[in-house]
Amino acid sequence: MSVATKLILKGGRVVDPATGTDGMFDVLIEDGVIRRVAKDLPVDGAEVYEVPRGAIVAPGLIDIHVHLREPGQEHKETVASGTASAVAGGFTAVACMPNTNPVNDHAGITQFILKKAAEAQLARVYPIGAVSLGQKGDQLAELGEQKAAGCVAFTDDGYPVATALLMRRALEYAGMLGVPIIDHCEDPSLKGDGVAHEGYTASALGLRGIPGVAESLMVERDVSLAELTGAHVHIAHMSARQSIRAVRAGKERGVRVTCEVAPHHFTLTDEALEGPVQYDTNLKMNPPLREAADRDAMLEGIVDGTVDVIATDHAPHHADEKMVEFDRAPFGIVGLETAVPLVFDRLVHTGKIPLSRMVALLATNPARAMNLPGGTLAEGSVADLTVLAPDMPVTISAQALRSKSKNTPFDGWTFRGGVAATIVAGRIVYRA
Amino acid sequence: MTTMPDDRPPADLTGPAPVTLRSRHLLGIAGLDADEIQLILDTAEAMKEIGTRSVKKVPTLRGRTVVNLFFEPSTRTRTSFEVAEKRLSADTLSIATATSSVTKGESLLDTVRNIEAMAPDMIVMRHASSGAPHLLARMCRSTIVNAGDGMHEHPTQALLDAFTIREHKKRLAGLKIAIVGDLLHSRVLRSNLLLLNTMGAEVWACGPATLIPSGLARLGARITTSLDEAVEEADVVMMLRIQQERMHGHFFPSVREYFTLFGLTRERLRRAKDDVIVMHPGPMNRGVEIDSEVADGAHSVILEQVSNGVAIRMAVLYLLAGRDNGGSEG
């Protein structure tokens, strides 16, 4: 990435949980690295970025659950459009899921994705490799080679790691390499051909249900296997209250388990399916929107620390693919450009979490969970920063999204809180 | 115009309906209030009379085009709509999946937009996906009539059921109505629950625990797994079709055991009121959910339901057509 030699951010409130910083400081960046965080730094020929009044300078936000769709589904998203969406949403780095076509189960595909990311020069991209060849649940992919090529974690996302035995071996093997296994937790037999949360709303609308325990059963399995192996398991997109309980219990007994929640799962419930637009396929995702008790459990887990990371599960789909019968539509919504407004509006401004916890959930903890550079403004770290504007009014317009796909349920919604600027390796890549 | 005496409808059926429904579509019973349900049932009485004439035809929908778009196999409902449309003098066209381009991978919206390019007035649709008619109502120009969507609703079935019950009981409010069978997958159950609750009946839902949808009580049913409890002092017993393939989803062990626990026999029907009526939306599985003796017995109104289906569908088409201006006949 090209690097501005010197950039100075003047006059912002710096919030960095990793170093325990919260105060008015200038930040000096040189050669893509944070040199100093201190008061009244001399400009000394540096390019100056005046931090807007009331804005927050945070370590660059990192979304560890993104589908960039390249290679194979470039009509939905590309590495270039996905990273443009990322930086517009305040994310300086994304980790991308392996369910591309072909599946990212070989070093060549990881290298291809990294090449595309280098060409785009926007957000950093950290590929996540498949656990099993073709995500078929049979044979372990070459995790060692994949790690050497740049993979930061492994998952069969879209599917759970198929069997307890494969999960056990994957955890042992990835543990040896020092990287986590991420699991999309879902018991396939209980999920069946379900398309919505099993409960009153699905029954009223005649939609096939997926019970919360379809998720938590698999979370229980994974927590037990992480305990057995001593390896690190990361639970993707938690949605069921039973899953929060399972992770909390695992953490209490010292299991190396971390987990993430997506903004739509702490914001919406399945009642949204009843209208104003009935059967809106932009409300169809997997795991599904669940009932209020589940949504509240996500909020509780975010507040009490059970939830480590907020990740979007950014899942772009073309409008034509979504403009079909509900049960035929693909699962997923885009999330990169709506995450910060949702976190501000629903978590920070409601008093549920302080700003420092927001930064921890979106930057510090994602970096730690996936062993990534960044996530801190410590002197000497990579100069990835996000300037957050807590009071910026943001009205989401699906058509105006940078993502190639517009499948968001938040079109037309207004939130308080947004992104003023995104800086990657000392270069301003996005300004509101 | 010159007409045979029987070709002349009652004065109030010649043009657009004077009182109509609030929505221009019939997507479900959800969205209809008690007055609208009443209006449809009352209108169906006038329509039923037309079916008793020697010339069973009125010019009400002359010049209107109705497309019956059936993406799921159906004999009874499709035929019933066709007869209703013909009795109202509409130009009708029926498309079934096997002969449509759906099998060529065309999307539902593209299929319907192509049909719309030929300017139909109404589309009657049966589809295996819940909410499919709601998608059309949002994206298309035509008036949409839901002839059954997935596990969601089958509004004209619930209306013809209510019409049949009303003919026998003179009321709906206060009746004990037991609905028995595959509750989980049944659109007939959902539409009937909505309608019967709106009209003040007491609905009992009975089936094996594996086939009871989550949240059913909140949908307005008293739930039991005991057929005897459901039938006890019932005014109406409505049996739902049980698909034998359901055995493969572990819903019940065998047809034999299902019939033992949930099959309606003359013996079990004795617990109901003396003047109980037995209903079934069809198609029936004799010896699975209902014994032939009951299906063909004195309490059965199953064939009346079929006759009444035509009158209800005429009423619905007439009332919906009345919402558009045009098409009125002199």
- CB-based contact, A271 to chain B, within 8 Å: no
Chain B residues within an 8 Å CB radius of A207:
130-131, 150-152
The yes-or-no verdict on residue A236 having pLDDT over 90 is yes
What backbone torsions phi and psi does residue A296 show, to the nearest 5 degrees?
-65, -35
Exposed, middle or buried by CB within 10 Å (0-12, 13-18, 19+), for B98?
exposed
pLDDT of residue B244: 73
The yes-or-no verdict on residue A4 having pLDDT over 90 is no
Cβ distance of A279 and B150 shorter than 8 Å? no
Cβ distance of A325 and B153 shorter than 8 Å? no
How far is Cα B21 from Cα B11, in angstroms, rounded to an integer? 20
Minimal CA separation from B137 to chain A, in Å? 11
What backbone torsions phi and psi does residue A215 show, to the nearest 5 degrees?
-80, -50
CA-derived radius of gyration, chain B: 20
Structure tokens at B259: 């019939």
Residues contacting A52, CB < 8 A, separation 6+? A387, A389, A420
Exposed, middle or buried by CB within 10 Å (0-12, 13-18, 19+), for B226?
exposed
Closest to A267 (Cα-Cα) out of A188, A198, A208, A341: A341
How far is Cα A76 from Cα A399, in angstroms, rounded to an integer? 14
Reported as a single tens digit per residue, the pLDDT across A164-212 is 999 999 999 999 999 999 999 999 999 999 999 999 999 999 999 999 9
Residue in chain B lying closest to A211 (CA): B214
What's the predicted TM-score (pTM) here? 0.94
Complex prediction ipTM: 0.92
Residues contacting B213, CB < 8 A, separation 6+? A202, A203, A209, B183, B184, B219
Closest to B132 (Cα-Cα) out of A251, A220, A329, A17: A329
Can you point out the beta strands (E) in A20-96? 21-30, 33-38, 47-50, 56-59, 61-66, 91-96
- CB-based contact, A327 to chain B, within 8 Å: yes
CB B158 within 8 A of CB B187: no
CB A172 within 8 A of CB A154: no
Cβ distance of A205 and B127 shorter than 8 Å? no
**Residues of B contacting chain A (CB within 8 angstroms):** 107-109, 127, 129-132, 134-135, 138-139, 149-153, 187, 190, 213-216, 218-219
pLDDT of residue B327: 39
**pLDDT over 90 percentage in chain A:** 98
CB B265 within 8 A of CB B294: yes
Minimal CA separation from A203 to chain B, in Å? 6
CB B123 within 8 A of CB B92: no
What backbone torsions phi and psi does residue B158 show, to the nearest 5 degrees?
-60, -35
Q: What is the DSSP string of A213-269?
A: HHHHHHHHHHHHHHHHH---EEE-S---HHHHHHHHHHHHTT--EEEEE-HHHHH--
Mean pLDDT confidence for A67-93: 98
Can you point out the beta strands (E) in chain B? 65-70, 91-96, 122-127, 143-149, 176-180, 202-206, 222-224, 236-239, 277-279
Reported as a single tens digit per residue, the pLDDT across A334-387 is 999 999 999 999 999 999 999 999 999 999 999 999 999 999 999 999 999 999
CB A260 within 8 A of CB A311: yes
Minimal CA separation from B120 to chain A, in Å? 22
Cis amide bond preceding A102, omega within 30: yes
Cβ distance of B135 and A199 shorter than 8 Å? no
Chain A residues within an 8 Å CB radius of B187:
206
Over chain A, what is the mean pLDDT? 97
Chain A residues within an 8 Å CB radius of B215:
199-204
CA angle A156, A160, A166 (to 5 degrees): 80
Minimal CA separation from B135 to chain A, in Å? 7
Cβ distance of A325 and B131 shorter than 8 Å? yes
CA angle A133, A137, A143 (to 5 degrees): 45
Mean pLDDT confidence for A380-402: 98
Cβ distance of B190 and A202 shorter than 8 Å? no
Mutate to test the interface with A, among B102, B112, B134, B140 (most CBs of A within 10 A): B134
CB A296 within 8 A of CB A261: no
Which three-class secondary structure state does DSSP give residue B97? helix
pLDDT of residue B97: 74
Structure tokens at A4: 């501005």
Chain A residues within an 8 Å CB radius of B131:
205-207, 278-279, 325-326
Minimal CA separation from B210 to chain A, in Å? 13
B129: nearest CB among A202, A320, A328: A328
Which three-class secondary structure state does DSSP give residue A109? helix
Cβ distance of B130 and A206 shorter than 8 Å? yes
Mutate to test the interface with A, among B130, B138, B185 (most CBs of A within 10 A): B130
List residues bridging with A395 in a β-sheet.
A414
Of the candidates A105, A313, A345, A384, the residue annotated as catalytic is A313
Q: Which residue has the tokens 């979490």?
A: A353
Can you point out the beta strands (E) in B4-85? 65-70
CA-derived radius of gyration, chain A: 20
How far is Cα B155 from Cα B145, in angstroms, rounded to an integer? 9
How far is Cα A163 from Cα B222, in angstroms, rounded to an integer? 41
Q: Please give the order of strands across the beta sheet that includes B143-149.
A: B91-96, B65-70, B122-127, B143-149
pLDDT of residue A266: 98
- CB-based contact, A326 to chain B, within 8 Å: yes
How far is Cα B278 from Cα B177, in angstroms, rounded to an integer? 10
Minimal CA separation from B150 to chain A, in Å? 7
CB A257 within 8 A of CB A222: yes
Chain A residues within an 8 Å CB radius of B135:
279, 323-326
Chain B residues within an 8 Å CB radius of A198:
214
How far is Cα A196 from Cα A285, in angstroms, rounded to an integer? 8
Closest to A111 (Cα-Cα) out of A151, A81, A73: A151
pLDDT tens over chain B, length 330 residues: 334 444 444 545 555 566 689 999 999 999 999 999 999 999 999 999 999 999 999 999 999 999 999 998 888 999 999 999 999 999 999 998 755 555 567 899 999 999 999 999 999 999 999 999 999 999 999 999 999 999 999 999 999 999 999 999 999 999 999 999 999 999 999 999 999 999 999 999 999 999 999 999 999 999 999 999 999 999 999 999 997 766 678 899 999 999 999 999 999 999 999 999 999 999 999 999 999 999 999 999 999 999 999 999 999 999 999 876 443 332
A206: nearest CB among B109, B138, B187: B187
Cβ distance of B109 and A324 shorter than 8 Å? yes
Mean pLDDT confidence for A84-97: 98
Interface subset of A 192-211, CB within 8 angstroms of B: 198-209, 211
pLDDT of residue B54: 92
CB B277 within 8 A of CB B235: yes
Q: What is the DSSP string of A332-360?
A: ----TTTHHHHHIIIIITTTSS-HHHHHI
How far is Cα B13 from Cα B3, in angstroms, rounded to an integer? 15
Cβ distance of B129 and A199 shorter than 8 Å? no
Half-sphere exposure at residue A143, Cβ-oriented, CA atoms within 13 angstroms: 24
CB B33 within 8 A of CB B87: no
Helix spans in A94-178 (H): 107-120, 143-149, 164-177
pLDDT of residue A424: 98
How far is Cα A382 from Cα A95, in angstroms, rounded to an integer? 17
Half-sphere exposure at residue A380, Cβ-oriented, CA atoms within 13 angstroms: 1
Q: Which residue has the tokens 């609703």?
A: B153
B134: nearest CB among A198, A211, A278: A278
Chain B residues within an 8 Å CB radius of A328:
129
pLDDT of residue B239: 98
Residue in chain B lying closest to A198 (CA): B214
Cβ distance of B108 and A200 shorter than 8 Å? no
How far is Cα A200 from Cα B215, in angstroms, rounded to an integer? 4
CB B7 within 8 A of CB B309: no
Mutate to test the interface with B, among A205, A213, A322 (most CBs of B within 10 A): A205
- Is residue A304 among the annotated active site residues? no
pLDDT of residue B16: 58
Q: How many CB pairs under 8 A join A and B?
A: 70
Chain A residues within an 8 Å CB radius of B216:
203
Interface subset of A 352-391, CB within 8 angstroms of B: none
Local structure of residue A363 (DSSP, 8 states): I
How far is Cα A83 from Cα A104, in angstroms, rounded to an integer? 18
Cβ distance of A278 and B139 shorter than 8 Å? no
Cβ distance of A202 and B214 shorter than 8 Å? yes
Mutate to test the interface with A, among B129, B183, B185, B197 (most CBs of A within 10 A): B129
